[in-house]
Structure formats: structure tokens, C-alpha cells
Amino acid sequence: MKKMKIYRNYRKSNSITLFNGDSKKLLKKIESESVDLIITSPPYCMKKAYEDPKDDIRTFRQQHIDIFKDIYRVLKPGGSICWQVGYHVTNICLIPLDYIVYDIFTSENDDLEYPILLRNRVIWTFGHGLNSTQRFSGRHETVLWFTKGSDYNFDLDKVRVPQKYPGKLSYKGPNKGNLSGNPLGKNPSDVWEIPNVKANHIEKTEHPCQFPVAIPQRFIKALVPEGGVVFDPFMGSGTTGVASILENCKFIGAEILTEYYSIATHRIKNAINGNSVFRPDIPVLEPNPNMSVSKLPEEFEKIRRIKNGEY
């Protein structure tokens, strides 16, 4: 693909459109059945810095009702929606947002020519985050992968991962004694262990709720043909745009806050120029047991022994 150029105002011929405004306004300009993949992580309406303080779980539901018809309209038959959400957290309880999204996105299927069908509920798990004392610490979020209709694009070979035991042999059947795995690697399954963007992560920006490039990049590889169109209606720091450029796809993104729009524009310009900073989509390594930070401090060991009644 020739070198991309960033445009602020949408046209179908644009290689990249970065819209600083409400995604509902941008959606009205996008042609019907023109997008291959819609992928995003919407606001959870939990009074974050980028959210209206009055927003709550009812706001989350209504925002999705308001946007769905145009989301459906612009998506090609056979195209995909990947919606990454976690939990709406209050001082009373957790509310899983994925079931709200599923309910809204599939509620009109009986009246649609191409129903919205759930293909996977991908669990994104990460090793680090806030530590809770009144419940188990949260270490996962969810990506709902839907397709528009039953005939869709999925290229598994582009996202295979290394087998744990690549030399494993079949022990019965016609392939007994032969290698049992695929030479290109195994299916990554529906549980993805990818570090989240916190602290010293190389992708970290000032956006407080950034997801890693590896998540949209993996979906784009599997679901979008080269040169296809990817749309992120809540692009935040521009992560999906970076992933789209890395995979030679066109990108449309909307961000309502100018501060984050500027961050996204900067990151996407760097990606165009081949200077993108991102963590490659590689398996998480086990900690080096010889490093001091991996060793159990003596004071921790003593406290654990006391707790276990060893003193």
C-alpha cells in the first residue's frame, strides 16, 4: 500500500480519517456496507476523566442503543464487530458490560437480513493491575466478536501461536506416530494473555485506559483482508489506528476529546513513518528466577511462615 495520509474530514477515498468529534456524527457520513471491521473499547461510564460525571450504567446502555443502527449499517455483510469491555464498578457490585452489549446488538436479529452472530467471547487476561482487598483482583476483560451474517472472513493461519509441545505425536488413529500439530502453530484459543498498558509499558501514553496494540492487531490479521477498512468509534489514544497501519489497512477513527485526539494523531503519524512504538504480539515470558525482583524477600517469607503456623 502506498504511503498513507491523514484527513480530518471523512471521504471514502481517504486512507486514514481521524475525526475530532462525536462518533455518531461521523457515522452519518460513512457509506453503508463499506467497513470490514469495527473494533473498539467504549467508555464504561464510571466517571473517568474523559467521561461525563453524570454518566452511569443507564448511560452506557443508551449510548449503545443510539449507535447500533449506524454501526450495523456501515458494516459489510460478512464483516466483524469486536467490542472490548470489562465491568462497570460501583461501591455496591460489579456489572458485566458484555451481557448488556450482547443483548443490544442481537435484540433485532429476527428483523435483520444479516443477523448479528456471536462467534467468540474472547477473554483478555493480564498479570498486573489494581490489587483488591474486598474481592478477588480483576485480571481480565472481554472482547465480543460478532459477524454480520453467517458467511464471514477468518484467516486462522495469520494468528497461530507456537505450540507448547510442537514435537507431540498422534497416539492413535490413521495418523498414529505422526506429528499431531499444525506446522504453523496452534489456534490461540479464546483466552489471550497479553500485558495491559500500565506503568512502564512501552506503549503507555497519558490516556488512562489504553489497550495494547496486540489486541486489535490480532483481530485485524484474522478478520480483515489487506487494504480493508477498520473503524474505531471511540479511538482514544489511537491504538486501533496504529494496528491498522501495521497491517496495511485503511482506518477511520473518532475521538471526542482533543487531548486524546492529539495523542492518537501523533501515534498514527509515527506508525505511518515506520516509527511506531509497540510491544510485539509474542507469548508472555516467565520471570527470570535469578533476578532480584523475582526472588521472595526474607520478610515476606517470614510472614508467610507465621501465617502457616510454622513459627
How do residues 181-223 score in pLDDT, each as one tens digit? 889 999 999 999 998 888 778 888 878 778 899 999 999 999 9
Q: Looking at the predicted structure, is the pLDDT value of residue 293 above 90? A: no
CATH number of 6-153+194-280: 3.40.50.150
Question: Residue 250 has what pLDDT?
Answer: 97
Question: Residue 210 has what pLDDT?
Answer: 83
Which of 48-52, 60-64, 106-110, 258-262 comes out lowest in average pLDDT? 48-52
> Which residue is it, cell 485485524?
220
Confidence of residue 233 (pLDDT cuts 50, 70, 90): very high
Question: Residue 201 has what pLDDT?
Answer: 84
Confidence of residue 287 (pLDDT cuts 50, 70, 90): low
Q: How confident is the model over 253-272, as a mean pLDDT?
A: 96
How do residues 115-160 score in pLDDT, each as one tens digit? 999 999 999 998 777 788 888 888 999 999 999 999 999 999 999 9
Q: How confident is the model over 97-112, as a mean pLDDT?
A: 96
| Under 8 Å between Cβ of 45 and 85 | no
Q: Looking at the predicted structure, is the pLDDT value of residue 283 above 80? A: no
Confidence of residue 311 (pLDDT cuts 50, 70, 90): low
pTM for this predicted structure: 0.88
| Under 8 Å between Cβ of 266 and 275 | no
- Residue by residue, DSSP assigns 126-152 as -S--PPPSSSPPP-EEEEEEEEESS--
Which of 44-53, 125-134, 169-178, 226-235 comes out lowest in average pLDDT? 44-53
